[in-house]
Each structure stands twice: as structure tokens, then as C-alpha cells.
Amino acid sequence: MSVPAGPIDPAEIARVINQVPDSDLEALMASDQRENVLNEIFGRMAEHFRPDQAGSLDAVVHFKVLDRPGGGYDHRELVVEGGRLTVVEPPQREPTVTIKVKPVDFLKLVTGNASGPVLFMRGRLKIDGDLVLASRLTSFFTIPSS
């Protein structure tokens, strides 16, 4: 599976993620395309941010996408402040909450093909810090549906 160049329709990506077997998604996220995929997703988060849902929240969210090829994880920081969202790499602030998730579950979560609470209850998503904030995160974004 390759990542197409040019504009990408979020709803189409959500549909593809829903239909592609997990083994293919795992192969994608273990390939040299992983960084491109993560950059595309995190790079679009500000576009899909819903400041009306975040209100006056000031928070720092760290995402750790686990199982990076060669070891470790990819680490991104979302700063919600003053009704705006900024993505920072590498992270610079102490997090309000840290979310640790495997790559396929991350893809499914951000495309609306998996529920954060369900992933958490199944032990597939780990949360350190503010659980209430973590439970509200998806409401801060317009998430495409498949």
C-alpha cells in the first residue's frame, strides 16, 4: 500500500483504512512511508480542530505512536491554547495527558474507525495523565467517517 501524492480527501482515507486489512496497515506503518503518513495526519489536525468544542481549554497532549521501525516510538505534541491547536515536533512542554497507541490503532482512531474508549478498555490505548481530557479529545476534531 502506498500513500498517494497530492491532496488527500479525509473521508476517502477513512474509507480505505476501514477496508484495508490490518496486516497491510501494519506493513505500511513499518515501511519508509510511516513518517509521511504521520506527517500528513498531524499536519492536518489544525484544519480539523473545532475550537468551539475545546472552549477555553489550555492543554498539552502528547501522542506516542509505538513500534517505530528500528525501535522506539514517534512522538508529537498537540498544544491547545487560546482556541487554537498547534502541533509541535519534537515535543517541548510537559503534557497534560499522554496517549500511547500502536500504529494501526492510531490510524483507525484518527479516521473514526475505532473508538478511543473501546481501545482503552481493551488495553490497546494507554493513557497517562488527565483521563477526562483524553476522553474528550475526539470531540475537538471533525473526524471523517468511512
Residue 34: band (very low, low, confident or very high) from pLDDT cuts 50, 70, 90: very high
C-alpha to C-alpha distance for 73 and 111, rounded to whole angstroms: 20
Mean pLDDT, rounded, for 94-113: 96
Neighbours of 2 (CB within 10 A): 8
How far apart are alpha carbons 111 and 15 in whole angstroms?
A: 8
Peptide bond into 90 cis (omega under 30): yes
Tell me how far the alpha carbon of residue 48 is from its chain's centroid. 12
Residue 130: is its pLDDT beyond 70? yes
Which cell goes with 109? 482512531
Domains of the chain from N-terminus onward: 10-140 (3.30.1050.10)
DSSP secondary structure letters along 87-103: EESS--S--SEEEEE-H
pLDDT digits (tens, 9 = 90+) for 39-87: 999 999 999 999 999 999 999 999 999 999 999 999 999 999 999 999 9
Q: What is the largest CA-CA distance in the chain?
A: 40
The C-alpha cell at 90 is 519534537
What is the residue-averaged pLDDT of the chain?
91
